[in-house]
């Protein structure tokens, strides 16, 4: 089932909005107080409505009673409609786009009586990179995150660096990547769990960035050993890391042969979304699988 753009409700003033973003909300048909919230960040050249239609988040939200928040980029901020994850003014706590997103989350959580322990964030491409920013700069807000075709937090601090990192060139060491997250706030946990998705044929954002994201979070979670590796679905490999208590805290899914975009499985009763630009039919719904990893849906 697809929900049309009119089902997204524009959010009015939500604070000082230093990043000058827009925001839209989706209230599920099965809305109940004390339910979860998922924040969904679109990619370049996309809108909140187009990403929702492609990914199928609002259809899943109706089934599971999830409230959705869609931050939106304005073309006046970025000509491609990309979140500015690589700008120093937009990748630190307390200002720019991260502060705007935090402000809208707090407003929606308050107005709709959201369970504060069940707030999650996901995004693709520049939205995936901004998901990395939010998880590092406002970790206290989130129980989990999912980064699709994205990049690690502060792997770039300029447009030139961003283009290099997207192609898989350069970047901070694993130790530096961990330190960047620790230095972003004075937060000491519990940290959000992380789901990482990437196509190994991605020519826009090299899949080496998926490995870098995993390494950025492994020591944060004290997940020192790979607990599971398996090939599953139509040509994908999933790796999982657990913390010292045995809880799965990081997963990485590499979809073999897939290019740049969000993995979709649109067929059958559990199909979600609609194939399109950067919305890629590969027989596996990242939307549904992410919700399962977060504990919002049964596996």
DSSP for 259-291, please give it.
Answer: -SSEEE--SSTT-----BTTEEESS--HHHHHH
125 is catalytic: yes
- Which one from 125, 132, 195, 207 is the annotated catalytic residue? 125
**Cα Rg of the chain (Å, integer):** 17
φ/ψ of residue 186, rounded to 5: -100, 15
DSSP for 26-86, please give it.
Answer: E--TT--TT--EEEEE--TT--HHHHHHHHTHHHHHHHHT-EEEEEE--TTT-TT----TT
Angstrom distance (rounded) from CA 38 to CA 121: 5
Q: SS3 for 119?
A: strand
Q: Find where tokens 């909140």 sit.
A: 48
Nearest to 168 by CA among 44, 260, 75, 62: 260
Residue numbers annotated as active site: 125
């Amino acid at each position: 089932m697809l929900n049309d753009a009119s089902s997204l409700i524009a959010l009015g003033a939500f604070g000082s909005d230093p990043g000058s973003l827009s925001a839209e909300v989706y209230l599920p048909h099965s809305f109940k107080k004390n339910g979860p919230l998922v924040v969904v960040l679109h990619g370049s050249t996309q809108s909140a409505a187009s990403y929702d239609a492609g990914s199928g988040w609002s259809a899943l939200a109706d089934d599971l009673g999830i409230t959705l928040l869609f931050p939106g980029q304005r073309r006046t901020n970025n000509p491609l409609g990309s979140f500015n994850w690589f700008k120093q003014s937009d990748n630190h706590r307390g200002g720019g786009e991260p502060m705007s997103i935090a402000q809208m989350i707090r407003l929606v959580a308050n107005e709709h009586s959201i369970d504060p322990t069940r707030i999650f964030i996901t995004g693709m491409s520049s939205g995936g990179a901004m998901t990395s920013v939010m998880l590092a700069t406002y970790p206290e807000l989130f129980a989990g995150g999912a980064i699709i075709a994205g990049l690690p937090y502060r792997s770039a601090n300029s447009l030139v660096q961003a283009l290099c990192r997207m192609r898989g060139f350069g970047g901070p060491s694993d130790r530096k990547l961990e330190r960047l997250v620790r230095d972003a706030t004075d937060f000491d946990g519990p940290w959000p769990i992380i789901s990482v998705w990437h196509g190994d044929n991605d020519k826009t954002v090299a899949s080496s960035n998926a490995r870098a994201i995993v390494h950025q979070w492994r020591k944060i979670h004290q997940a020192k050993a790979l607990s599971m590796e398996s090939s599953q679905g139509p040509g994908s490999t999933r790796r999982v890391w657990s913390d010292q208590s045995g809880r799965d805290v990081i997963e990485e899914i590499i979809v073999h042969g897939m290019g740049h975009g969000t993995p979709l499985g649109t067929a059958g009763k559990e199909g979600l979304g609609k194939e399109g630009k950067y919305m890629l039919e590969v027989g596996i719904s990242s939307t549904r699988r992410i919700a399962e990893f977060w504990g919002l849906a049964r596996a």
